[in-house]
Every structure is written in C-alpha cells, then in structure tokens.
Amino acid sequence: MQLADDVTLNLASDEEPDVSRLSQALTHPSHEVWTGITVGDTDPVEHLDLWLATTTHHFGRLSVGAQAHQRGLVPPAMRWSGATLHNGSSTLAYLALRSAGDQSEELGVIAYGTEAATFAAHTVELLHRWNKQRPTQPAITAHPADTPTEKLPEGTRIHKPDTTLTVAW
C-alpha cells in the first residue's frame, strides 16, 4: 500500500485496512517515544518482528526510500526491516533505534496519525512486554489447510491455500 511518495506499507495479503485513511497518517506530525529498552549486537532480538506479527492484529513492513528520508521522515530501525503496526484505519507506528552508547541502541516508536500518542503508548507497552520475556525460540508447525481447528496446536495461525502454519511462543 502506497502511503506517500517513496513510502510503502507492505501488509499481509488478507488485511484490508482503510487505505484512504491510513495513507493520510503521514500527513500528521510524528510522535516519538523512546522505551528505555536497549539492545546490543549480541542480544537475542532476532525474533522481535515475528513476535510482534504474531501477537498483534495489524503488522506490516514500512519501506522508506531516499526521497522520503530527504523530506524528513525518520527512518525505521533497519534491524527489524521496517517493522510497523497500524490500527486498521488512521494511525501507524514503526520501530526506530537511536544510539545508547558504544555497544547498544535504544528501541523507540515513531507514530503518525490521528491517534499517534495513544497508539505509540500501546506499542511501547507491547515492547516492554516483549522485553520482559525476550522470547527466542518460536515453535512453528505446518499442517494441511483442511486440518480441523481442534487438531491444531495453540498459537497464532497463518492460513495459506494448502497449509496452516501455527506460531507459538
């Protein structure tokens, strides 16, 4: 979904947000919140984006090109490939990083839209929940798409034409 010139939000194919309203999110001022959560190069954080995607309803990847950076949009945290949450209609928030010393960076949230402050606070709460758990080993199982629900393991389900994937933490 094109949000602005040189800014794209890539969503799961089955999501149907209010495109016209969500594309207006970037016309609002940004709201930045820094979490106090620091991460270093050796910290086990490689599954943060998967954890967000499987514990929230509206996850996507924000792609911000050079022209958008020049216009002043703050770049997403490259470590998580533009991990972005949205509320389905008018607001989005993406992960960002800033230096927190020689060996670490602080995780932050940058939100845009009509409910930017509230949505940023919600996203920060999610990040603090993740930080307490720091889950590192998701259990991912695959079953034929026609497997009855009661025979599937607990977890977040991703339905594909021939397969149902389950991700559990």
Question: Domains in the chain: how many in total?
Answer: 2
Handedness of CA 94, 99, 105, 107 (dihedral sign): negative
Based on the domain organization, do 41 and 20 belong to the same domain? yes
Based on the domain organization, do 168 and 122 belong to the same domain? no
Residues 6+ apart with CB under 8 A from 159: 14, 145
What span, in angstroms and rounded, lies between the C-alpha atoms of 76 and 129? 20
Q: What does the pLDDT read at residue 154?
A: 94
Q: What does the pLDDT read at residue 120?
A: 97
In order along its 169 residues, the chain shows pLDDT tens digits of: 888 888 888 887 677 778 888 889 989 999 999 999 999 888 888 889 999 999 888 999 988 888 887 777 766 666 667 899 999 889 999 999 898 988 899 999 999 999 999 999 999 999 999 999 888 889 999 999 999 999 999 999 988 899 999 999 9
What span, in angstroms and rounded, lies between the C-alpha atoms of 19 and 24? 9
Q: What does the pLDDT read at residue 64?
A: 84
Residues 6+ apart with CB under 8 A from 108: 32, 33, 34, 35, 95, 96, 97, 98
Nearest partner of 142 among 130, 131, 126, 153, judged by Cα? 153
Based on the domain organization, do 71 and 147 belong to the same domain? no
Q: What is the extent of the structural domain holding 42?
A: 2-136
Based on the domain organization, do 53 and 125 belong to the same domain? yes
Residue type, 155: G
What span, in angstroms and rounded, lies between the C-alpha atoms of 83 and 46? 12
> Which helix (H) or strand (E) element contains residue 70?
helix 66-70
Based on the domain organization, do 69 and 86 belong to the same domain? yes
What span, in angstroms and rounded, lies between the C-alpha atoms of 167 and 55? 10
Based on the domain organization, do 47 and 118 belong to the same domain? yes
DSSP 29: P
